[in-house]
Structure 1
Amino acid sequence: MKFRELEVPGAWEVTTAQHGDPRGLFMEWYRFDHLAEAVGHPLRLAQGNLSVSARDVVRGIHFADVPPGQAKYVTCVRGAVVDVIVDLRVGSPTFGRWTAVRLDDVDRRAVYISEGLGHGFCAMTDDATLSYLCSTTYNPQAEHAVHPLDPDLAIDWPTGSPQLSARDAAAPTLAQARADGLLPEYARCQEFVTRLKTEESPYASPQ
């Protein structure tokens, strides 16, 4: 399992070895110990989600209040998507920047997205299916969105006809969300992640 931190700090691409033979294949798509070693603390698994999308559907850009935020470990179990991570942390050196990773059922990569970052994706195939492991349960009062087609973000979505939900189509721009005080503060996100790194993990392996 290989981890590569992306251009937006706090986001990692994860590549896992696949072991195949004529019967099929096997892989370890998630290892809490390997992830903890890479990012500095374990993922506190609280909820698992599946998302199924038709081709050209764009979901996001979604984020949660910090603390506690919501870290995500995402992989595509069917079809293909372009997964996008946006730095929404006010005060971050990379505020407003985004990066993208193709997730599909061939290479079977994953991404880890830490608290305070925005997340979205575009489905490249019909029935594109994402699996999410999340660090907190869904809290609608703490969940927010930034418009995925905000020209200031200028995300290069790989579709000429993006299909948005009513919620995402009505989401504010990055500038509007910042003016309304919705965006997470970089310093607070850093403090929260530092605290996670110093707390004793309930999942620590016995010595």
Structure 2
Amino acid sequence: MKITESPIKGCFFMEPMVFEDERGLFYEAYQKNRFDDYVGDKVNFVQDNVSFSKKGVLRGLHFQRGNSAQAKLVHVIKGKVLDVIVDIRQGSPTFGKHVKIELSAINRKLVYIPKGLAHGFLALTDEVIFAYKCDAYYDPKSEAGILYSDPGLGIDWEMAEDSLILSEKDLKLPLLKDLDS
């Protein structure tokens, strides 16, 4: 597996080795020992989530607070997304900065997102199946987020605003500057 640390410390982009032949293909998306060696930490994933989205659906920017904060390993099983990660760790040299990466069933890239980062994605194809592992259980009392269009973040979602489909809840998220620490 090829692994590259993103400009945000602790956030890694991963490209698995893919084995293809006339039958199809195979790749290892996760193997605990190798993964822990790559990220330099022992991560204990406890929950797998899958979402289905249609083109234009934007989910995020989400995170969980406190003891329920989650590290995630994300990838796309079907379709293509624009994946966005924002550093919200107070005191981090990249606080308020974001990175973007295209994840797809074709490029098979994965992203490891450590605790303390907000995450969102935009479905770029008609059907998207997005999967992610979490190292803490979902806790509705700890969920939080940042408005996707926060001008302080300057994220170009690369799709016309009137094409985006967001939940009412995501449309009411605060700006980063208005978050409680």
**TM-score normalized with structure 2 length:** 0.96
Asked if structure 2 preserves the Cα contact closer than 8 Å seen for 1:83 and 1:120, the reply is yes
Superposed, 1:49-64 pairs within 5 Å as 49-64=49-64
1:165 to 151, 164, 167: 167
Larger radius of gyration: 1
2:176 to 170, 174, 177: 174
**1:27-62 deviation per Cα after TM superposition (whole angstroms, max 9, x unaligned):** 101111121112122221111000111111111110
- For residues 172 and 109 of structure 1, the distance between their equivalents in structure 2, rounded to whole angstroms, comes to 30
1:28 corresponds to which residue?
A: 28
RMSD over equivalenced CA pairs, Å: 1.0
- Of all paired residues, the percent bearing the same amino acid is 39
- For residues 56 and 33 of structure 1, the distance between their equivalents in structure 2, rounded to whole angstroms, comes to 36
Please tell me whether residue 119 in structure 1 is matched to residue 115 in structure 2: no
Bigger strand share:
2
- For residues 48 and 26 of structure 2, the distance between their equivalents in structure 1, rounded to whole angstroms, comes to 21
**1:43-99 deviation per Cα after TM superposition (whole angstroms, max 9, x unaligned):** 211110001111111111101113341000001000000111100111111110000
Give the length in aligned residue pairs. Answer: 179
Give the letter for the 1:164 counterpart. Answer: L
Superposed, 1:136-175 pairs within 5 Å as 136-160=136-160, 161-175=163-177
- For residues 24 and 38 of structure 1, the distance between their equivalents in structure 2, rounded to whole angstroms, comes to 27
- For residues 63 and 19 of structure 1, the distance between their equivalents in structure 2, rounded to whole angstroms, comes to 34
Report runs of 4+ in structure 1 exceeding 4 Å deviation: none
Structure 1 residue 172, shift from structure 2 partner: 0.4
- For residues 155 and 32 of structure 2, the distance between their equivalents in structure 1, rounded to whole angstroms, comes to 31
- For residues 27 and 74 of structure 1, the distance between their equivalents in structure 2, rounded to whole angstroms, comes to 15
2:87 corresponds to which residue?
A: 87
- For residues 157 and 13 of structure 1, the distance between their equivalents in structure 2, rounded to whole angstroms, comes to 19
- For residues 32 and 3 of structure 1, the distance between their equivalents in structure 2, rounded to whole angstroms, comes to 15
Give the letter for the 2:178 counterpart. Answer: Q
- For residues 36 and 66 of structure 2, the distance between their equivalents in structure 1, rounded to whole angstroms, comes to 20
- For residues 68 and 138 of structure 1, the distance between their equivalents in structure 2, rounded to whole angstroms, comes to 7
- For residues 83 and 69 of structure 2, the distance between their equivalents in structure 1, rounded to whole angstroms, comes to 19
Give the letter for the 2:114 counterpart. Answer: S
1:192 corresponds to which residue?
A: none
Give the letter for the 1:45 counterpart. Answer: F
- For residues 164 and 108 of structure 2, the distance between their equivalents in structure 1, rounded to whole angstroms, comes to 24
Asked if structure 2 preserves the Cα contact closer than 8 Å seen for 1:66 and 1:115, the reply is no
Give the letter for the 1:84 counterpart. Answer: V
- For residues 48 and 113 of structure 2, the distance between their equivalents in structure 1, rounded to whole angstroms, comes to 15
